[in-house]
Amino acid sequence: MTGDHSSKQYDADLETIRSNVLAMGGMVERQFQDAISAFRNGNLELAARVMKDDESVNRLEVELDDACSHLIVRRQPTANDLRTVMATIKIITDLERVGDEATKIARNAIHLHKRGVGPINHYETVRVIAEEASEMLRSALDSFARLDTEQATALIAQDASIDHGFRSITRSLATFMMEDPRTISASIDTLWVAKAIERIGDHAKNIGEYVIYVVGGKDIRHTDFGSAQIAATDED
């Protein structure tokens, strides 16, 4: 009876943590959306709010890390459960870093629009990869909520498209800067925004990899996508 009670309490504690992680995910998803909106529209007040919101995200990271640590100490989870807790800790870290990247976008939006928009359409330069990264982040959170390895595998594949888009943006901005030195400062700000978006895609990919690890116990980090596909298929 004691063991059964302990197991139920562990499940309840873990579910509380999962719910709070998803709430944190919603916070950073909104941060990212607001940062891109500020970059598009030059809304300096919105950009400042994104930067301010990062303080709340950072506090929540500390609280959730502490909750996970206490869960391990109090409940002493077995191997499978411990895997879930450790993966959750890593997901928390990735979400906090998404918030950091959103803050970078907001900061560069302020720099860009205080100087005035130059000859290039800065938002259109990054629009496609911003939409792709937003979709990846949403899928990552959804796959974590439902422990859906198929969705996790699909979002991992999307990261290659964002990487390709980032390389294309880098080449285009280099051309702008060479052809018109007046665009250098604004192009560099835009390049930093594009890099932050690319990193958000990386963090979403990491979350997908951790979902696959939680469900199947297979660590597919630093492997090619084929390995991820095998991991997802094995769970069917």
Q: Which two tokens stand for residue 147?
A: 């422990």
Low-confidence ranges of the chain (pLDDT < 50): 1-3, 5, 225-228, 230-236
Q: Rounded to an integer, what distance in angstroms lies between the CA atom of residue 148 and that of residue 144? A: 7
- Listed in sequence order, the residues at least 6 apart from 214 whose beta carbon sits closer than 8 Å to its beta carbon are 83, 84, 87, 88, 147
Inter-CA distances, 81 with 56, 118, 125, 211, Å: 28, 53, 44, 13
Q: In this predicted structure, what is the pLDDT of residue 228?
A: 41
Q: Rounded to an integer, what distance in angstroms lies between the CA atom of residue 156 and that of residue 140? A: 9
Q: Closest Cα to residue 190, out of 175, 204, 205? A: 175
Q: What's the predicted TM-score (pTM) here?
A: 0.89
Would you tell me how many other CB atoms lie within 10 Å of the CB of residue 57?
20
- Listed in sequence order, the residues at least 6 apart from 220 whose beta carbon sits closer than 8 Å to its beta carbon are 209, 212, 213, 227, 228, 231
How would DSSP label each residue in 130-181?
Answer: HHHHHHHHHHHHHHHHHT-HHHHHHHHHHHHHHHHHHHHHHHHHHHHHHH-G
Q: Provide the CA 12 distance to its chain's centre, in angstroms.
A: 26
Q: Closest Cα to residue 125, out of 83, 80, 175, 81? A: 175
Q: Rounded to an integer, what distance in angstroms lies between the CA atom of residue 212 and that of residue 227? A: 11
Contact 17, 71 (CB under 8 A): yes
Q: Rounded to an integer, what distance in angstroms lies between the CA atom of residue 84 and that of residue 217? A: 9
Q: Which two tokens stand for residue 176?
A: 């702008």
Q: In this predicted structure, what is the pLDDT of residue 112?
A: 87
